[in-house]
Amino acid sequence: MTEPLKKVLGAQVRDLRLARRLSQEGLAEELGVSTRYLAGIERGERNLTLDSVDALAEQLEVEAQSLIVRR
């Protein structure tokens, strides 16, 4: 069975955060969201809209598709 896209997106966001050597608090501040909200994204608990994925990708300076592509 394949992993749900929200889990894939969460893992991608976590990988980007770790690559930047940021804490959840640091990235949440950069993104303008709460740490709790970011943690929910990283755990794959948040069901983001496509508009939210686009905005998140823009803030992270990556292509939106890269956040939902399974590796």
pTM of the shown model: 0.89
- 4 near 44, Cβ under 8 Å? yes
Return the C-alpha torsion angle 12, 13, 18, 24, nearest 10: -150
Tens-place pLDDT, residues 27-37: 999 999 999 99
At 63, the amino acid letter reads: E
Domain count, the chain: 1
Instruction: With a cut of 90, say whether residue 64 has pLDDT above it.
Output: yes
25 Cβ contact list (under 8 Å, min separation 6): 35
Q: Around Cβ 41, how many Cβ atoms within 10 Å?
A: 25
Domain annotation covers residue 58: yes
Residue 40, domain CATH: 1.10.260.40
